Amino acid sequence: MTADDTIAARKTVCVTGAGGFIASWIVKLLLERGYNVRGTVRNPEDPKNDHLRAIEGANERLVLCKANLLDADDLRAAINGCEGIFHTASPVTDDPELMVEPAVEGTRKVILAAAEAGVRRVVFTSSVGAVTMDPKRGADVVVDESCWSDLEFCKQTKNWYCYGKAVAEQKAWELAGEMGVDLVVVNPVLVMGPLLQPQVNASIMHVVKYLDGSAKTYANAVQAYVDVRDVAEAQIRVYESPSASGRYLCAESVLHREDVVRILAKLFPQYPIPLKCSDEINPRKKPYKFSNKKLKDLGIEFITVKQSLYDTIKNLQQKGHLPVIS
């Protein structure tokens, strides 16, 4: 252990939605650094959370606490006595009924509990969905932390996930300001990389569909990508860095879908990867410019999208989510 690890060893932090894709990696990295971790899950007895208990250090320093985002008492009990919070729990869906209230109200309850417990810092996992959904943004604009999604546009396009995340982040800033809570926000783009949890989450399905034969074509669309290990590392860097503040766009690259399927086809030619675009009429969409300078300045060296895709597929094979075809 280094001197820094020894300091971390005395600290207890809370990770909400600990069993999820990103949160499981945050828990793993926190345990590696010597933190005591309280991970909130909806049901600690559910076998889907067993992977958390298997992480090195979990026996000694991980406690799973039962908490639904809509239950203030559960959240208070998990957060009270913690030095910091990594708030990652959120529904990930475009169903407005299931998305908006838990995302927004859950975030409000976490900030209130943080204020009551007097935690040092809250790191909130927002999303690129709170950043890029703006039809007025010019083609040459560099997307960075100053960009905000347009709520009316999210509603009109029925993008309830982006709407819920954007409103949740706005509320978090508003309430943290009022209550004097030190809030730092990480806005990841589409997250890939190896799963620790047994089930495939929504962002990984984005890649699975190109390998399991379910997608026959790819869309004329662009998407930004980042690896889950960098998202977790970013969260801990912004937590530990005294000068960290504001939002942090967490992105490695922006690619057209065609680039993604071509990388996959080159790495894994044995799968039925679609190489035909569903849109043969409109011009090819151009990747937007973005800045990840704030996180690079904190020392993050992003895993390349090619490496991340490779590690994702290998992990899906190992976990039995994709057949190993030779």
Using CB under 6 A, list all residues that contact ligand NAP. Answer: 17, 19-23, 42, 68-70, 88-92, 102, 125, 127, 165, 188, 190-191, 201, 203
Q: Hey, what are 241's tokens?
A: 């860095």
- Please state the length of the chain: 326
All residues at 6 or more sequence positions from 240 whose CB lies less than 8 Å from its CB, including other chains: none
* Distance of closest approach, residue 174 Cβ to ligand NAP, in angstroms: 18
* Distance of closest approach, residue 73 Cβ to ligand NAP, in angstroms: 13
Helices 228-240 + 21-32 axis angle, to 10: 50
What is each CA distance from 288 to 73, 214, 259, 314, 317, in whole angstroms?
A: 43, 28, 14, 29, 32
Residues 24/18, Cβ–Cβ less than 8 Å: yes
Pairing mode of beta strands 190-192, 289-290: unpaired
Nearer to ligand NAP, 125 or 312 (CB): 125
Calpha distance 311→317 (Å, rounded): 10
* Distance of closest approach, residue 30 Cβ to ligand NAP, in angstroms: 15
Nearer to ligand NAP, 34 or 40 (CB): 40
Nearer to ligand NAP, 36 or 125 (CB): 125
CB burial class (10 A; 0-12, 13-18, 19+) of residue 96? middle
* Distance of closest approach, residue 75 Cβ to ligand NAP, in angstroms: 9
Q: Which of 136, 165, 276, 293 is catalytic?
A: 165
Calpha distance 81→76 (Å, rounded): 9
User: Is 165 tagged catalytic?
Assistant: yes
* Distance of closest approach, residue 67 Cβ to ligand NAP, in angstroms: 6
Nearer to ligand NAP, 7 or 77 (CB): 77
What is the phi/psi pair of residue 39, to 5°? -105, 125
Nearer to ligand NAP, 7 or 151 (CB): 151
Please give the residue whose beta carbon sits closest to ligand NAP in the complex.
20
Catalytic residues: 165
